[in-house]
Structure 1
């Protein structure tokens, strides 16, 4: 019934034949004590119907996390590392501050029909944001050496941005995380991040995410990136320039023989909870008391600085304060 209104969803008309399909939905939000959940969602794929399914799944993640905020009741979760059932409050897996996990957004959420696949996707999202944290504030990463295969892959997206910077890291997991940053007119236009055991898969996924966000933000005065001043953008671009010049230039990593995600031994909390929902799609939230469960923005990092990741990597509050705000998504 939600797709009976043609204005509630759609697929973007491609400017170039090589571009993948971007689909979008606007299916309403949930009002919680933390505010309204996002109403819009997007998905990208080479197949039009798959891109629409992805957009709908993103909508489910945002909506069901809002449901988790409505009642502060005890719920069951599963600690994957210790393979044991645990008890938490429903709000620990919703939006906003959790006494156990710190601040939380949609990081670590995933929807779909196969529990094995969405558990992996949820964990991937959680690890991506923490690799982003170490890359941005601790400079733990490398600049990608572009070969012919990567060059062709970049060109297949036909970006509007005039400059593309690419980095990767491999710190807390056996998988590689790729970061794509799009720049035009001395402003950050979009970014993409992806984690996978295969470098080229991660690279392709990060490019697709950056392409989607570039479409969302381009000519949209209400976008979060357009709310920052030119001076702020100039400072962030200078920092990206610094990373590009100072980090080691490395070739793409070899394909891993192990497709499973493994995390460092100090990560003892990888907790899964099935969010409330009423259709065939399952939505899982993955959270960790050792890691950050949100985008690595300064106010959330500093307000929850007791995360184990800061102790392991000897990160000081001054390291955060002396670095420009991370506005990667």
Structure 2
């Protein structure tokens, strides 16, 4: 049985009383304690216009995050795990900690670049796109690379849902990893009942329409998630270093709000007719990889170990040339190739930009 949870109310069966044409699902399964004593993320959510798909997506994300605590199988003495380097088309070895949740010294690895699917090719494709998304986020927020999208040319149920709740919706596209299009959605409502007056979403695809749909659906999902968090943490408290606390702080940060307005000055994206079939979209990995910038010398994928559902394949993508984490300012290494060969930010420039709330 599926229930609708909204504003701390619970118990309305979706199939009878849900008046929204989308279904939000939440999954929480047991996880492991990390070597540093911490516990991996457990709350996972998903949204879809199909009930079954929403539940499956939330559950598979739970398994994916649980697997990140353990990482890939590898040599316990050497601390290495086998991977496949897609750029050089060979089996390689990478430090096993790059396949786990890790925050030590200069190494930060989170859920970035991880995906789960019953089809290994789709899991690999989604993991690579997720990794590139986070790097496009860095370039978009800190380098202001991208262009505005005219959403009036793209119908979406999520735009209608946002507008019905008093939100203004804007979208932008960043194409450093062309033909991959990474879309960023900002939904703003200064009169929202919680302090979360703006919400963001990210989506990527070689199809602009698909990327827009993913970005809008994520923004709407996160709006509901953070609304729920607001009510929950009034009672339970909030860990200051958590991603939720960072997003909440950005809502009242005047510098962050000013930075958001700067994106209105970007040029408008000139769209072209798309000619992408479903079969092409399923094998888009090769198209993306062969067009990556020359400075991306390595791109590793590895399988994460999990026993909850043996049919589910979890892939972790990693590259020493890219950021393998969310674009929080405290994590950014300006010597990484993705910065040096693109926007080439200096420490002084970075210091004057508010931390990115797009997580």
TM-score w.r.t. structure 1 length?
A: 0.87
In the superposition, relative to structure 1, how do residues 299 and 70 fare at CA in structure 2: closer, same or farther (>3 Å)? farther
State which of 212, 216, 223 in structure 2 corresponds to 1:207.
216
Q: Does 1:240 align with 2:260?
A: yes
Equivalent position of 2:91 in the other structure: 85
Q: Is the 8 A contact 2:44 2:61 kept in 1?
A: yes
Decide which of 288, 293, 299 is 1:270's aligned counterpart: 299
Contact 1:189 1:218 in 2 (8 A): no
Equivalent in the alignment of 2:50: 47
CA distance, structure 1, for counterparts of residue 336 and residue 296 of structure 2: 10
Within-5 A mapping of 1:143-182: 143-150=148-155, 154-155=159-160, 160=165, 162-182=167-187
The DSSP-based 3-state class of the residue aligned with 2:71 is helix
Is it true that 1:59 corresponds to 2:80 in the alignment? no
Q: Does structure 2 retain, via aligned residues, the 8 Å contact 1:145–1:251?
A: no
CA displacement at 1:169 relative to structure 2: 1.0
Query: Could you tell me how far apart the structure 2 residues matched to 1:159 and 1:30 are?
Result: 41
Q: Across the two proteins, how many residue pairs are aligned to each other?
A: 317
Q: Distance in 2 between matches of 1:176 and 1:210?
A: 17
Distance 1:254 1:267, change over 3 A: farther
1:21-72 per-position Cα deviation (integer Å, ceiling 9, x unaligned)? 1111111232103421111111111111111110011111110010129985
Q: 1:125 to 1:159 in 2, by over 3 A?
A: farther
Distance 2:207 2:165 in 1: 27
CA separation of 1:265/1:275 partners in 2, compared to 1, >3 Å: closer, same or farther? same
Cα 1:228–1:77 shift into 2, 3 Å = same
Q: Which residue of 1 aligns with 2:145?
A: 140
Deviation at 1:230, TM superposition (A): 5.7
Q: Secondary structure at the match of 1:315?
A: coil
Calculate the aligned-residue CA RMSD, in Å: 2.7
- Asked if the contact 1:164–1:183 (Cα under 8 Å) also holds between the matched residues in 2, the reply is yes
Who is 1:193 aligned against? 202
1: CA distance between counterparts of 2:166 and 2:63?
30
For residues 306 and 52 of structure 2, what CA distance do their matches in structure 1 show? 22
In the superposition, relative to structure 1, how do residues 229 and 211 fare at CA in structure 2: closer, same or farther (>3 Å)? closer
Contact residue 158 and residue 220 of structure 2 kept, 8 A = no
Aligned to 1:224, the other structure's residue is in SS state: helix
318, 328, 344: which is aligned to 1:297?
328
Query: 1:320 maps to which residue?
Result: 350
Give 3-state SS (helix, strand or coil) of 1:250's partner.
coil
CA contact (8 A) 2:72 2:302 kept: no
Structure 2 residues not aligned, in runs of 5+: 6-11, 234-243
Q: C-alpha separation between the residues in 2 aligned to 1:306 and 1:256?
A: 38
Paired with 1:126 and 1:230, the residues of 2 have a C-alpha distance of 26
Unmatched segments (≥5 aa) in structure 1 = 1-5
| Alignment check: 8 A CA contact 2:72 2:303 kept | no
Distance 1:163 1:16 in 2: 24
> Which stretch of structure 1 is more off in the superposition, 148-157 or 268-277?
148-157
